[in-house]
Chain A
Amino acid sequence: MYSNPDLLATNLLIGMCRGSLGVPRVIRDLGYRDRWVRRCFPGHGPDSVPPVLAMASREARHTVFVEFSRGAKVDARQLARYATVTAAYLRGATNLSREETETYDIAVLGPARHRESLVKGLEESRLRFPLLLLTRAGIVLGANSFSKAALSKVFFPRLEVAWETIPRSWIRFNGNSGVLEVADAVIPEVVARAMKGDTRIAATDLCRSHPLWDILGKPGRDHMNGQVCEALAAATENEFRSHFDLDGEVLVLQRDLAADTPMQRAGWLKRLQQLHAAFLDRLADDRSARAEREFFEEDDAAGQ
Chain B
Amino acid sequence: MIVTNRRQMARLFHDRMNGNYRDDPNERQPGRRPEVVKSYLVDAYGTWSPGEADESPFVSRLAEIVDGSGLGSRFTCEVHPAETGDLATICARMGDRTSTYLHVDAEDPRFWIVHATATGQAADRIVALLVEGSTRINRVLIPVQLLDRVRMLGTCVGLGLDFDRRLFSTHADGNDGSRMGSLKMQQWGHEAGRLLEYMRHEPSFADRTTLSRLQIRCQPDGGDGTAFSVEEIRIDGKLTAKGTWFEGHANMVRTLKGAFSGVVGQLESNHAIQVGSTGDVVTGKALAIDTGRRIEDLDAFTRKVFSGARPFQLWGVPRGGDGLVRVRATDLGLGGRLDFEITPAFIRIYLPSTTSGSTVLRFYANLQRHHDACVRLVNEEEMDVLES
Binds A, one of B210-218, B247-255, B324-332: B324-332
Decide if B331 touches A1 in the complex (CB within 8 Å).
no
- What is the CA–CA distance of A244 and B115 in the complex, to the nearest angstrom? 41
On whether A192 and B335 interact (CB within 8 A), knowing A164-B321, A170-B350, A276-B317, the answer reads yes
- Nearest residue (CB) in B for A278 is B317
Decide if A192 touches B336 in the complex (CB within 8 Å).
yes
- Nearest residue (CB) in A for B333 is A195
A221 → chain B closest CB, angstroms:
13
On whether A269 and B280 interact (CB within 8 A), knowing A20-B348, A211-B273, A262-B132, the answer reads no
Decide if B317 touches A189 in the complex (CB within 8 Å).
no
Decide if A262 touches B133 in the complex (CB within 8 Å).
yes
A4 → chain B closest CB, angstroms:
14
Binds A, one of B177-185, B194-202, B378-386: B378-386
The answer to whether A191 has its CB under 8 Å from any CB of chain B is yes
Chain B residues, CB < 8 A from A15 = 286
B153 → chain A closest CB, angstroms:
33
Binds B, one of A34-42, A112-120, A135-143: A34-42
On whether A169 and B339 interact (CB within 8 A), knowing A95-B279, A215-B280, the answer reads yes
The answer to whether A76 has its CB under 8 Å from any CB of chain B is no
Decide if A35 touches B280 in the complex (CB within 8 Å).
yes
Across the interface, A270 reaches (CB within 8 A) one of B70, B308, B321, namely B308
Decide if B339 touches A94 in the complex (CB within 8 Å).
no
The answer to whether B319 has its CB under 8 Å from any CB of chain A is yes
Q: Mark A176-195, 1 if CB is under 8 A from B, else 0.
A: 00000000110111011101
- Nearest residue (CB) in A for B271 is A18
Decide if B280 touches A195 in the complex (CB within 8 Å).
no
Q: Mark B343-370, 1 if CB is under 8 A from A, else 0.
A: 1011010101010000000000000000
Decide if A192 touches B275 in the complex (CB within 8 Å).
no
Decide if B329 touches A188 in the complex (CB within 8 Å).
yes
Decide if A164 touches B324 in the complex (CB within 8 Å).
yes
- Nearest residue (CB) in B for A183 is B328
Chain A residues, CB < 8 A from B328 = 169, 172, 184-185, 187-188
The answer to whether B143 has its CB under 8 Å from any CB of chain A is no
B58-108: which residues lie under 8 A (CB-CB) from chain A?
68, 70
- What is the CA–CA distance of A168 and B324 in the complex, to the nearest angstrom? 10
B319 → chain A closest CB, angstroms:
6
The answer to whether A212 has its CB under 8 Å from any CB of chain B is yes
- What is the CA–CA distance of A181 and B81 in the complex, to the nearest angstrom? 48
Decide if A195 touches B317 in the complex (CB within 8 Å).
no
- Residue of A18, A36, A269 most packed against chain B (CB within 10 A): A18
The answer to whether B337 has its CB under 8 Å from any CB of chain A is yes
Decide if A18 touches B380 in the complex (CB within 8 Å).
yes
On whether A191 and B317 interact (CB within 8 A), knowing A37-B280, A209-B337, the answer reads no
- What is the CA–CA distance of A276 and B319 in the complex, to the nearest angstrom? 11
Chain B residues, CB < 8 A from A28 = 380
Please name the 9 residue pairs, one residue from A and one from B, whose CB atoms are nearest each other, closest first: A19-B380, A164-B323, A21-B288, A169-B339, A195-B335, A214-B275, A188-B328, A192-B337, A19-B286
What are 20 A-B interface contacts by the 8 Å CB criterion? A20-B286, A21-B378, A22-B288, A22-B346, A28-B380, A51-B280, A94-B280, A96-B280, A165-B324, A165-B341, A168-B324, A169-B328, A184-B319, A187-B328, A188-B337, A191-B330, A192-B335, A215-B275, A270-B308, A273-B315
- B interface residues (Cβ-Cβ under 8 A, vs A): 46, 68, 70, 132-133, 135-136, 273-275, 278-282, 284-286, 288, 290, 307-309, 315-317, 319-321, 323-324, 326, 328-332, 335-337, 339, 341, 343, 345-346, 348, 350, 352, 354, 378-382
In addition to A21-B286, A196-B46, 10 A-B residue pairs with Cβ atoms within 8 Å of each other are A20-B380, A21-B348, A34-B281, A36-B281, A195-B335, A209-B337, A209-B354, A258-B68, A266-B308, A276-B317
- A interface residues (Cβ-Cβ under 8 A, vs B): 1, 14-15, 18-22, 28, 33-38, 51, 94-96, 162, 164-165, 167-170, 172, 184-185, 187-189, 191-193, 195-196, 209, 211-212, 214-215, 258, 261-262, 266, 269-270, 273, 276-277, 280
